[in-house]
């Protein structure tokens, strides 16, 4: 018998990017997935609260134990409403496709649910294709199978960290923005004022146990 499981990133820095991606997925689909206005109001309020408190702790000059505790409490409250939405409206909802569930860290397992999948050993090779105005397509292949756009076994998404303009980042930590991409050729949409800017990014695979693989090389493109 299949069981459904979902998980949230343990590190607050990883959860920050994850919850942003979750909001971008859930918000436009709220009506189709029968998520109530009350649920979305709570989700939005707790998301905004967590983001403010997280950004305080992300600044070395503002960081202190009180701010850290406030961030952790806000994260727990946000995870609480996310769990409620997942359990009531997404996990067993046939209107939500498998790739979308995977991007939200929702997956099905059979047999021993305690089995742990090893971290990915390969890395994604990412191309940023500029085709339409204000849009960049993120296309990935695996370094072990460069002729296929399929993800490695047990990998649920490609985690992409990026920054716009300025000096090229030396490491992924230098990139403040994060996306969790479950399909190759996913479109990233930018604001009109961001056209002409350069995007820099690194990517890595994340499996169903939230274990991560090695980072890709730096990729760049201009936003058309």
Domains of the chain: 3-109 (no CATH), 124-222 (2.60.40.10)
At residue 148, the pLDDT reads 86
At residue 120, the pLDDT reads 92
The residues that bridge with 212 in the sheet, in sequence order, are 206
At residue 108, the pLDDT reads 61
At residue 116, the pLDDT reads 66
DSSP 91: T
How is 127-157 classified by DSSP, letter by letter? EEEE-STTEEEEEEEETTBTT--PPPTTEEE
Q: Chunked in runs of 10, what are the mean pLDDT values of the chain (224 residues)? A: 66 88 93 94 96 88 84 93 91 87 74 65 94 90 90 87 94 88 85 94 87 94 95
């Amino acid at each position: 018998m299949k069981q459904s499981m979902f998980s949230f990133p343990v590190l607050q820095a990883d959860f920050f990017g994850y919850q942003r991606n979750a909001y971008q997925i859930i918000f436009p689909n709220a009506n189709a997935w029968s998520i109530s206005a009350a649920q979305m109001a709570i989700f939005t309020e707790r998301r905004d609260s967590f983001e403010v408190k997280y950004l305080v702790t992300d600044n070395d000059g503002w960081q202190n134990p009180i701010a850290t505790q406030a961030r952790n409490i806000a994260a727990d409250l946000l995870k609480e409403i996310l769990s409620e939405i997942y359990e009531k409206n997404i996990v067993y909802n046939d209107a939500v496709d498998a790739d979308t569930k995977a991007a939200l860290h929702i997956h099905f397992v059979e047999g021993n649910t305690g089995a742990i999948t090893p971290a990915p050993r390969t890395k994604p090779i990412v191309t940023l294709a500029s085709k339409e105005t204000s849009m960049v397509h993120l296309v990935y292949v695996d370094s072990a199978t460069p002729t296929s756009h399929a993800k490695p076994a047990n990998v649920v998404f490609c985690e992409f960290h990026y920054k716009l303009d300025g000096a090229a980042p030396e490491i992924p930590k230098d990139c403040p923005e994060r996306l969790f991409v479950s399909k190759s050729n996913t479109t990233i949409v930018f604001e009109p004022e961001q056209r002409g800017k350069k995007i820099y990014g690194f990517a890595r695979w994340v499996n169903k146990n939230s274990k991560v693989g090695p980072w890709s090389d730096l990729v760049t493109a201009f936003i058309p």
